[in-house]
Amino acid sequence: MPIKHLDPIQAVAVSDVYSGSVHPMREVTRSVAFDKGWSPDRLESVKGLFDGLASEWTASRNDPDRSLPLLDALERGKVEGRLALELGAGTCLFTGALCSRFASVIALDLAPEMLSHAVTDKAPLVNADSSMLPFRDGVADVIVLVNMLLFPTEVERCLAPGGRIVWVSSRAEDTPIHLSAEDLEAAMSTTRTTTWTGVSSRAWTGSWCVLRRT
């Protein structure tokens, strides 16, 4: 199913400080999304990486403009529902915005140090691995992933019929953990027989895609 691409809003170029496209997490992202490339060693390495970044994560990224791609995705992607799961929530920089929009939000992350620096207490925090989500089938109306690895089987399992995946890359193609909208749809289409419709755009430095489970 082709993705519908909407016009960008407030798009600005990312700075050229670095390109995440050559970051090692890019290869991890593709391997996890397409080849079930998650292992105990990889889990420990990713957890250790983000636990090590936790103390400076918020200070270096707590820019209100960084929420614009997510807010645009929710608005123009027409995302509605009661329960939203935020996977890879990190220090919960986006959790407050999600709590303003959904009746219930659960913020989950693999790295306990990231959660220990959470900037909000509005949502329950869950320290768990998204490759084995501690939720029942079809529980979520919305699953939000901002700069987060995609585990297609678990995302599909936990998403309700008609539910939405909200996929955001804060620095668009320069985000280390990034898939294009087409790759997101292709990765999700490798699971069972579910089909997806998608809409995508860019806002500020970021890009987003909302996939609806049909």
Ligand X SMILES: C[S@@+](CC[C@H](N)C(=O)[O-])C[C@H]1O[C@@H](n2cnc3c(N)ncnc32)[C@H](O)[C@@H]1O
CA gap 174, 15 in Å, rounded: 10
Compute the least distance from the CB of residue 103 to ligand X, in Å: 21
Compute the least distance from the CB of residue 195 to ligand X, in Å: 25
Residue closer to ligand X, measured from CB, 148 or 203: 148
Compute the least distance from the CB of residue 65 to ligand X, in Å: 13
Where does this chain bind ligand X (CB under 6 A)? Answer: 46, 50, 61, 87-90, 93, 108-111, 114, 129-131, 146-149, 170, 177
Sign of CA dihedral 66, 80, 1, 87: positive
Q: Where are the beta strands (DSSP E) in the chain?
A: 3-5, 83-87, 104-109, 125-127, 140-146, 159-169, 196-203, 206-213
How many other C-beta atoms lie within 10 A of the C-beta of residue 38? 18
Residue closer to ligand X, measured from CB, 77 or 176: 176
Compute the least distance from the CB of residue 214 to ligand X, in Å: 26
Residue closer to ligand X, measured from CB, 89 or 210: 89
Residue closer to ligand X, measured from CB, 114 or 184: 114
Taking alpha carbons only, the member of 189, 179, 186 closest to residue 214 is 189
CA gap 159, 137 in Å, rounded: 7
Residue closer to ligand X, measured from CB, 45 or 214: 45
Distances (CA, A) of 50 to 25, 46, 84, 144, 148: 11, 6, 23, 19, 12
Compute the least distance from the CB of residue 154 to ligand X, in Å: 9
